[in-house]
Amino acid sequence: MGIKAAEALVQTLIDEGVEVIFGIPGGAVLEIFDAIYHHRDQIKFVLTRHEQGAAHEADGYARATGRVGVCMATSGPGSTNLTTGLAAAMMDSSAVVAITGQVATSFIGKDAFQETDTTGVTMPITKHNFLVMDAKELPRIIKEAFYIAKTGRRGPVVVDIPRNISRTELDDDFQIPKGVSLRSYKVTLRGHPLMVKRAAELIASCSRPVLYIGGGVIASEASDEVKELAERCHIPVVYTLMAKGAFPDEHELCLGMGGMHGTVAANMALNTCDLLICVGARFDDRITGNPSEFAKVAKKIHIDIDPAEIGKNVKVDVPIVGDAKIVLQQLLEIVQPKRHSSWIEKTAEWKRNYPLTYKQSSELLKPQFIVETVAKLTGGSALVVTDVGQNQMWAAQYYPCRRPRQFISSGGLGTMGFGFPASIGAQFGCPDELVIAFVGDGGFQMTMYELATAVLHKLPIKVIIFNNFFLGMVKQWQDIFFGSRYSATMLHGNPDFVKVAEAYGAVGMRVKTPDELQPTLEKALEVKDKPCIIDCWIDPDEHVYPMIPAGGTIKDIILPPEQRHKKEELLADIAAVYATV
Amino acid sequence: MGNEHNSKLHTLSVLVENRPGVLARIAGLFRRRGFNIESLSVSTTDDPTISRMTIVVGGDDATIEQITKQLNKLIDVIKVQDHTGEDVVERELALIKVSCEPEKRNEILNLVTIFRASIVDVGASTMIIEITGTEDKINAMLELLRPYGILEVARAGKIILARGSKAT
């Protein structure tokens, strides 16, 4: 007797190395869940409280481990609830496979109970998707889904399986397919030698180079190569939010994060360099501001595995399609050591004169102080996951990272509610790491139901809530651009987060003053068998600085209040460079 | 999309896996990235697992480059080629129903002969003309028929093949 397609599916997942699946069952996937039950020793199923949580957890797992994250949901509302998580994974090129149930093939198109056109809905928010109409094809499709998700520019893939398909018995000779062969999907890994040579020539002849690195450096595990190139050719490094950790913050050549809330040194370097070497980043508007003014005096080299990214937002001089690690290795074969001492000194001067800064207070709890204290107590080695908004920017600015996959955040989609469930996925993937989630009071409430999952699995995640009783980043924009008219940003009706934590069986703590912070965090770090929610009541009027307003240029940068008197000097530095071209 | 002044029509030949949903993927890509399809023709090739789409799209060079790259990213797309300005045979097909009183039949017949079109239906006071050729030829035919009263027109999307041994 043959096996059912659902059983073949689970065997194929095990063959792919899947150890954990996040999700919720339902009518259309019962057969698959029965197969999972039979293999419960090999695959852990994590029952979440909402499918959005499952998708973010699979995504957080993928980002923390570099493996494929898997989530599962039933048809209709199950699959539509996954969509925010899939879109977040798509925007940040995260390898997620989502398996969804579908109504039986005979009911497709009849508006049956819990029917949604899942492949139609997820088409623009996935790298690819499949609707399985023949049970025999299911194992092959699963292999293809994993292959597509984890190769090239990574991304989420949905496999939609009608309920009668998972029930169908396969032939006796069922075997898990070995390889994958897709004639229409080819990934270019090696850079074109001529382009690599031209890049090396530009590096040899430039005088003010900058390495601008993005998430592709982490995906292709190219951190060592970036470091080698930076050190050999004396090139300062600016990272995007997605690449935080890919180059050590403490490194003398590191200028920090670039873009809207990046450091002055990073943005000055990006905009005054004469050679911009972009590796695995995509000239996103949060980095460039006005793209036609961005780095406009620089020649540009763009290394990316996705040909469509090259020339999409900004015109470049040397396009190199390929895997970041491999292309950098090709470059390292030919570039000669050189020094840019006066340029490096200039960037160091910006670092000294315009450091990230905030005004400490003896009464009000400053969010930056919280991140600094957490960094101190954790030795800068925690796995940091953030939500979206001010909390995300403060974490990125003040938590120094030193290894890839140490910092996880929803960059492209900017998904509030991502942080906490993603930290759960990260903790499943890295059980021995200390996982810290920085969240806001707004975003945390979007997915805090996942406390049940974290408590059930005894995950010792520290959730640090920057509680300002506001949707803080929106408030900041209202403060700066809309005369502090707080239209719908005050979070009246916030729950008591300590009680919420306790109600779920987690530990809840509250910090209201700077003095209470360290002792409370120390206590929290001792909790090893359950999540710990630290509700920090921060100064609600704190803003994230520096800030380049959306669509602006480096000249529009809003410095922290303490540095505003020095803006003229910055403008003079920019003018001096622009005058020479 | 793109700058109007250097925007022009491009003809892309796209080979795709002949699977359900592929047309939706391509149409969705054009829609969500703000590209506009001028004409589209789809059919299977001599290999039943592969379909050919001939897509006419307007845009400047950067836009067309993006369209080509984004099409190539779709997993079901096997090959994309821009044949604009190349040596290709291009054809469109139109069916034109004109109002035609019996005494005008000869005049119209003359036009049909000149254009090497054919008459595929004759009614008491109507005629259907089938014409194939380039877009310009079909437009010219339509202009000449207009005074007689065009009742209905159906035009198929453009199709092309590269001349000689070069693959499309």
Strands B77-82 and B50-59: unpaired
Q: Is the pTM of this model over 0.90?
A: yes
Q: In the predicted model, is pLDDT for residue A325 greater than 90?
A: yes
Search chain A and give the residue with CA nearest B17: A184
B150: domain CATH number? 3.30.70.1150
User: Helix, strand, or coil here: B90?
Assistant: strand
* Distances in whole angstroms, Cα of residue A428 to Cα of each of A19, A56, A59, A434, A501: 10, 12, 11, 11, 20
Q: B71 with B138, same domain?
A: no
* Residue where a domain stops, chosen among B33, B54, B82: B82
Taking the C-alpha atoms of residue A13 and residue A313, their distance in angstroms, rounded to an integer, is 38
B contact set with A (CB within 8 A): 16-17, 20-21, 24-25, 28, 32, 62, 65-66, 69-70, 72-73, 75-78
Predicted ipTM beyond 0.95: no
Domain total in chain A: 3
Report CA torsion sign: A242, A247, A251, A254. Answer: negative
For residue B168, tell me if it sits in a domain.
no
Judgement on whether residues B65 and B116 belong to the same structural domain of the protein: no
Q: What integer best gives the mean pLDDT of chain B?
A: 92
> pLDDT at position B2, please?
40
Do A462 and A406 lie in one domain? The reply is yes
Residue B82: partners with Cβ closer than 8 Å, 6 or more residues away: B10, B11, B12, B64, B68
Sign of CA dihedral A226, A227, A230, A233: negative
Residue B34 inside a domain? The answer is yes
Q: At A208, which CATH number? A: 3.40.50.1220
End position of a domain, from candidates B82, B115, B134:
B82
Strands (E), A31-103: 44-47, 69-73, 96-102
Q: Is the pLDDT of residue A81 over 80?
A: yes
B84 or B16, which is more confident?
Answer: B16
Beta bridge partners of A98: A71, A158
Residue B134 lies in a domain: yes
Task: Give me the pLDDT at residue A401, please.
Answer: 98
Say yes or no to pLDDT of B3 above 80: no
**Band of the pLDDT at A1, cuts 50, 70, 90?**
low
Q: Please write the tens of the pLDDT for every residue from A499-518.
A: 999 999 999 999 999 999 99
Q: Does A431 touch chain B (CB under 8 A)?
A: no
Mean pLDDT of chain A: 97
pLDDT (0 to 100) of residue A445: 98
φ and ψ at B124, to 5 degrees? -60, -40
B19 and B73 co-located in one domain: yes
Residue-level pLDDT at B1: 39
Measured between CA atoms, how close is B77 to chain A, in angstroms?
Answer: 6
pLDDT score for B36: 86
A302, A440: one domain: no
Angstrom CA distances, A138 to A304, A345, A422, stand at 32, 59, 29
Say if CB B119 and CB B129 are below 8 A apart: yes
Q: How far is B119 from chain A (nearest CA, A)?
A: 41
Query: Which chain B residues touch A312 with a CB distance below 8 Å?
Result: 66
**Whether A488 and A385 share a structural domain:** yes
Please say whether the beta carbons of A55 and A82 come within 8 A. yes
Render pLDDT for A82-136 as a digit per residue (tens, 0 to 9).
999 999 999 999 999 999 999 999 999 999 999 999 999 999 999 999 999 999 9
Average pLDDT of the segment spanning B132-157 = 95
pLDDT in tens, A168-206: 999 888 899 999 999 999 999 999 999 999 999 999 999
Q: What is the pLDDT of residue B5?
A: 59
Asked whether residue B138 is assigned to any structural domain, the reply reads yes
A119 and B21 in contact by Cβ < 8 A?
A: yes
Whether residues A306 and B72 touch (CB distance < 8 A) is answered with: no
State the residue range of the domain holding A15.
5-167
Query: At which of A319, A353, A387 does a domain end?
Result: A353
Q: Is the domain of A341 the same as that of A373?
A: no
Domain count, chain B: 2
Is the separation of the CB atoms in A395 and A361 below 8 Å? no
- Pick from A119, A123, A307: which is nearest to B69 by CB? A307
Residues B77 and B96 in one domain: no
A226 and A156, same structural domain? Answer: no
Q: In this complex, which of A119, A183, A308 lies closest to B69 when CB atoms are compared?
A: A308
Same domain, A346 and A377: no
Q: Can you give the residue range of the structural domain that contains B153?
A: 88-162
Q: Is the CB of residue A184 less than 8 Å away from at least one CB of chain B?
A: yes
Residues A246-273: pLDDT tens digits? Answer: 999 999 999 999 999 999 999 999 999 9
Q: Are residues A430 and A309 in the same domain?
A: no
Any domain includes B167: no
SS3 of B58, please?
strand
Would you put residue A283 in left (φ > 0), alpha (ψ -120 to 50) or beta?
Answer: left
Write the burial class of residue B65 (CB in 10 Å: 0-12 exposed, 13-18 middle, 19+ buried): middle
Q: What pLDDT, on a 0 to 100 scale, did the predictor assign at position A385?
A: 98
Does one domain contain both A287 and A390?
no
* Count of alpha carbons within 13 angstroms of residue A173, beta-carbon side: 0
Residue where one domain finishes, among candidates B49, B82, B115: B82
Tell me whether residue A572 is in a domain: no
Last residue of a domain, one of A353, A376, A410: A353
